[in-house]
């Protein structure tokens, strides 16, 4: 077996863990930034959903993201965490409806925030993959 084939086999055999741990890192890290109130997206979140101008709710959002990230680390909670991610990230598309000027621009078609929201499609796809996987015994 050549090196490429071995690498492909390793990646295939560990794909679930790689996706789960990658999503976990993203959610724990970004959630922790919110909990510590050093998140660079606070203004964007508040502009998207004015309810989050409340410090407690913003902190709660961060704590939720950290807990979901931790849930991805364990096989027993991975499916639930994946479904929570899907719901959470679908919610980020509300911005395009509530405040489209944050998402779309006449000059560039999408804003930086629009790109930020669009990349969530990939995170949703990864979460759907994990949520719909059959558990291996």
Strand extents, DSSP E, the chain: 104-105, 109-110
Q: 92 to each of 47, 66, 73, 119, how far by Cα in Å?
A: 12, 17, 23, 11
- Which tens digit of pLDDT belongs to each residue from 25-79? 999 999 999 999 999 888 888 887 887 888 899 999 999 999 999 999 999 999 9
User: Average pLDDT of 15-22?
Assistant: 96
Domain positions in the chain are 3-131
Among 98, 101, 99, 95, smallest CA distance to 118 is for: 95
Higher pLDDT, 69 or 110: 69
48 CB-contact burial (10 Å; exposed 0-12 / middle 13-18 / buried 19+): buried
So what's the pLDDT on residue 87? 96
Structure confidence at residue 136 (pLDDT): 64
* Token pair recorded at residue 89: 């990230």
This prediction has a pTM of 0.88
Structure tokens at 126: 């990864």
């Amino acid at each position: 077996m050549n090196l490429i084939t071995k690498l492909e086999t390793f990646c295939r055999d560990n794909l679930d863990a790689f996706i789960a741990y990658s999503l976990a890192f993203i959610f724990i890290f970004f959630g922790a930034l919110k909990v510590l109130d050093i998140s660079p997206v606070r203004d964007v979140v508040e502009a998207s959903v004015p309810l989050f101008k409340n410090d407690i709710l913003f902190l709660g959002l961060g704590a939720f993201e950290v807990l979901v990230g931790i849930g991805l680390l364990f096989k027993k909670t991975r499916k639930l965490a994946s479904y929570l991610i899907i719901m959470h990230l679908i919610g980020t598309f509300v911005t395009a409806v509530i405040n489209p000027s944050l998402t779309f621009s006449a000059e560039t078609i999408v804003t930086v925030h629009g790109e930020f929201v669009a990349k969530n499609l990939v995170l949703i796809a990864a979460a759907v993959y994990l949520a719909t996987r059959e558990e291996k015994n």
